[in-house]
Amino acid sequence: MNQTTSPVGDVQQPEIHSEFKRDMGFWGNLALGFTYLSPVVGVYTTFAASLAIAGPPAFWMLIIAGVGQLLVALVFGEVVSQYPIAGGIYPWNRRLWGAKWGWMSGWIYTIAINATIASVAYGAGPFLSAFLGIENDPITNVLLALGILVLATLINFGGTKFLANVAFIGFVVEILATVFIGIWLLVAARKHDLSVLFTDFRPAEMQDATPFAIAFIGSAIFGIYLYYGFEANGDVAEEVQNPSRVIPKAMRMTLYVGGVASMFIALGLILAVPDFGAILDGTATDPVGTIFLDTFGAFGFKIVMIIVLVSYLSCTISLQAAASRLMYSMGRDLQLPGSNLLRKFNRKRAVPPFALLFAGILPAVVVIISLLSADALIAIVSFAAFGIYLAFSSVVVASIRARIKGWRPAGDFSMGSLGWVVSFAAIAYQLFAMYTLVTPVPDVPWYQAWLVGLVGLVVLVIGLIYLFTVKPHLRGGGVTGDAATGVVDLRYATPISQSEEIVDLAIRLSGGKPHVYPNTGASIPRTEENTGDEPRQ
């Protein structure tokens, strides 16, 4: 591994170069973010619940949430442009604020993203059962979800280039399917005109009990559960060519393309609903499946199910890739239990193998828990979206604090003075989204009504206890809180060259461990103890 020095203040600090390969270009990075966002998964998962709250006008929440998250993506773009480091939210917050803030955000995001992986894999079960023509009981659903997790893990072990290619295939399939299905629904299955998007179809008793404005805000889950995934573009920053320029652009394009695709398929579905009243009163529990079966017939329904399953699998793969890079980043800084495993790196595959395994095992445990307690699964998964938004907001808050202390984004992408306005608007939207997610559900016991907030509190308390007793922030990680100093210490961010990799492989094949790279004069002993946490002298 190559080693040079970079100035931090008046001290020359060793700059440890990344072991990843830069095999991912703009389109691969865009595809990764898009398949994580996944319009098919997001829209199909929340369609019935959103329309049951506010009816067809819930569609407008896709636009509101899309604009809100675009503001967040712009903030992220400035940060990742200056700090293109694997793991995203965790290393960004370390640099913007400090080690404690970075650790807490990393902890929250680790729990949230692994819960999201579990929810996506578990949510694919009914679609896979429908495609296979088998009854979807709890045990079957768990087995199918575990099968999806195993397949996703194996694909991720293929390395960065293979991941980028698979993500791009998923991206193309989902885009083409969204366009085709949306057009078909609008042409062959449309039962309403656009006026329904401005009409309150709720029955009189619902209108009397809840003002439309309140119901409309409640339907925000339509967009809130959809518009994340762009942070994954930055999670793999050390695997992207020219990341300072490419990743901010890919983040924005993820939202542009994903937003348009989501609105298009959502519009087609809404205008094809035969009876909005049945969704609002809860008698139509699977309106999406019913629309597809009625529109495409039995054979066409099978084809649509294949497309849906490809989307779910692609989403799982992208989520797992992001989660593994986050845990690897924290592992090489000795921040998590099991860091000695999480920090290990497979040079041949250019992936962190144990971090990938954990990103498969932890969601699998969550899925299996559903057999013991369905309530436990609901509790864990309910935290997923809230935890992700909480982690997002931590970056926005840290960036605002850094600006106040003098930080001026120094990457290829910068909003200049407009960054102040965008940052405050972004945190306002994040607060709105988190408020919507923790708002108590009516007509259920209090512990169920406040489930999201209660689980969030438990995660925060456990994290704080670990932080102040084990003190992981005092171990490893190098420079922290340097955003306002004007120093850009890109530790870990520059991968080795192909020629150096070949030399390293040759020495390993011959049984050697010590290593001198050509033209550097640096001798780096390659041992199990120095595989990636602290600067090696």
The CATH number covering residue 133 comes to 1.20.1740.10
Q: Look at residue 496 and tell me if it is in a domain.
A: no
Range with lowest mean pLDDT among 90-94, 123-127, 250-254, 465-469: 123-127
pLDDT tens digits, residue range 138-157?
Answer: 899 999 999 999 999 999 99
Do the beta carbons of residue 222 and residue 58 sit within 8 Å?
yes
Range with lowest mean pLDDT among 36-40, 108-112, 229-233, 527-531: 527-531
Do the beta carbons of residue 90 and residue 106 sit within 8 Å?
yes
Q: Which domain holds residue 284?
A: 26-475
The residue with greater pLDDT, 355 or 5, is 355
Q: Which amino acid is at 300?
A: G
Task: Write phi, then psi, for 4 (nearest 5 degrees).
Answer: -130, -165
pLDDT tens digits, residue range 335-384?
Answer: 999 999 999 988 888 889 999 999 999 999 999 988 887 777 777 877 88
Tokens representing 129? 């059962």
Angle at which helices 26-37 and 243-272 pack, to 10 degrees?
Answer: 40
Q: Look at residue 526 and tell me if it is in a domain.
A: no
Q: What is the pLDDT of residue 512?
A: 55
Residue identified by tokens 């988190």 is 434
Q: Look at residue 61 and tell me if it is in a domain.
A: yes
Percent of the chain surpassing pLDDT 90: 48
Q: Left, alpha or beta for 133 (phi > 0: left; psi -120 to 50: alpha)?
A: left
Number of structural domains in the chain: 1
pLDDT tens digits, residue range 495-512?
Answer: 444 444 445 445 545 555
pLDDT tens digits, residue range 435-486?
Answer: 988 888 777 788 778 888 898 999 999 999 999 999 998 887 667 777 766 5
Average pLDDT, integer, range 387-408: 94
Q: Look at residue 330 and tell me if it is in a domain.
A: yes
pLDDT above 50 (res 7)? no
Q: Look at residue 162 and tell me if it is in a domain.
A: yes
Q: Look at residue 503 and tell me if it is in a domain.
A: no
pLDDT tens digits, residue range 53-70?
Answer: 899 999 999 999 999 999
Q: Look at residue 493 and tell me if it is in a domain.
A: no
